[in-house]
Amino acid sequence: MRLRSAAAPFASLALVGALAVGVTPPAAAQPAVLAIWTPDLTTGEPAGVRLDGGSVRLDGAGAYLAPVEEGSAPRGAAVPTGLLTLRPQQLPGATDRVVTTVVGDVPAGSDAVVDVRGRRAATGGWTEWIPAEPGTGGMVAELPEPTSEVQGRLVITGPPGSGPTVRGITLAAQPATGRLAQAGAEQAAVHYRVFATREGLVGGTTANGHVITERDHFVALPSRRGLSPRDTSDYSVKVCAPNGRCAFAPVWDVGPWNTRDDYWNPPSVRQEWRDLPQGLPQSQAAYKNGYNDGKDQFDRTVLNPAGIDLADGLFWDALELDDNAWVTVDYLWTGNERLSAVVGDLPVLAAPDPAAPPVGIAANGAAVPVQCVLGQGADRWLRIGAGQYLAGAAVPDIGAPPGCATAVTGTPDTTGRTAG
């Protein structure tokens, strides 16, 4: 959702208030409304923003760089960007369309948007964050599937010291149309071979507010659509190196090169660079094929084809890489397999045996697919891929997966697709 000027008439918010207390407008005046709410900004999770007298402003110390959404800054210009992740809202029914309204002040060269996501019925996880865009009835986030729980995230960009001041947000969920009923069909997580680079930047702050430590375990992808809130496993990947080692890790940063390149999505959904095929990062097309004159969205000459950044511990310890490399990545949230969070940085073993050789790492905060369970109690093991096992205590909440018929050992699954 784009920020409206505080000086503009705010009739839409007045109408929202009337609906909330049961006043029904003429049928032609407003689409049906399932629920309306105004999140408490003071209870949001800040990353690169600060709360000042009940208003949200940029905090340059924790902001990351990204272009202004509306393009009011010169092409290639990058400005500080901050996030405020709001509390989820349970709805009385299903929605796939959320209209958002923001009130505040926005100077030239800055902007404010609202991303929205929904809880997925099939997996219990979340859809990707969908930026609200102009649509019927205002600024609208069209969710990829019906949901009865939604969450908003305020995104503000602007020059240091003169960015937006946001004083309030209203979200209005409309009843689901049923147009995406097929969204619950069984599907595997998408996986692609991309070039990985080491992020480094120890002591810096990621886009979600995490302070980077030595030998850290997380990844960065070039779109905030798959950015997990701080210390969560909402969006995780499985990364497999050519040496056969794999790592499971959460997405906690935005990059490399671009910030609006969700290349794992089909062109009809992709936020930018929609003329590229699914699975091809813009940076790779620029570096190898001269796409966009060989430049990224900031007009920088692309010096490598990286589609993922790896934190140092993931790069050196989990995957045992000594240089940038082509890897295979599973974007785990894109599938319909239930994922469970890992507690602690733990080795992934080649067999359900503490003496088995390690074949990678499941990072603290990562979400992994528990395919089946072997043993009980202290001898319980979880299979998370072919030739990939975790000790049962690593994943406290696993739901009710089936028992494994037999242990599958041998060559670990390094294809990027989780084995059945």
Answer yes or no: is pLDDT of 105 > 50. Answer: yes
Enclosing H/E stretch for 166:
strand 165-175
Cα angle 83-84-85, degrees, rounded to a multiple of 5: 110
| CATH 2.60.120 boundaries in the chain | 4-179
Task: Provide the sign of the torsion angle of the four alpha carbons 204, 206, 211, 213, taken in this order.
Answer: negative
Identify the CATH number of the domain defined by range 4-179: 2.60.120
Query: What is the C-alpha to C-alpha distance for residues 34 and 99, in angstroms, rounded to an integer?
Result: 11
Query: What is the C-alpha to C-alpha distance for residues 276 and 290, in angstroms, rounded to an integer?
Result: 13
As given in the structure block, the two tokens for residue 187 are 């599907």
Q: How far apart are the first and last CA of the chain?
A: 40
As given in the structure block, the two tokens for residue 355 are 């003496």
pLDDT, tens only, 250-308: 999 999 999 999 999 999 999 999 999 999 999 999 999 999 999 999 999 999 999 99
Pairing, β 246-254 against β 339-341: unpaired
As given in the structure block, the two tokens for residue 40 are 């408490």
Q: How confident is the model at residue 181 (pLDDT cuts 50, 70, 90)?
A: very low
H helices of 23-151, in order, are none
pLDDT, tens only, 375-418: 888 889 999 999 999 999 888 878 778 889 766 555 555 544 43
Q: What percent of the chain is predicted at pLDDT more than 90?
A: 69
The residue among 302, 298, 281, 316 whose CA lies nearest residue 198 is 316
Query: What is the C-alpha to C-alpha distance for residues 311 and 217, in angstroms, rounded to an integer?
Result: 5
pLDDT given for residue 21 in this prediction: 28
The count of residues in the chain is 420
The residue among 126, 13, 112, 123 whose CA lies nearest residue 56 is 112
- The pair phi, psi for residue 258, each rounded to 5°, is -110, 170
Q: Per residue in 364-401, is it b (16+ CB within 10 Å) or e — as a string?
A: bbbbbbbbbbbeeeeebbbbbbbbbbbbbebbeebeeb
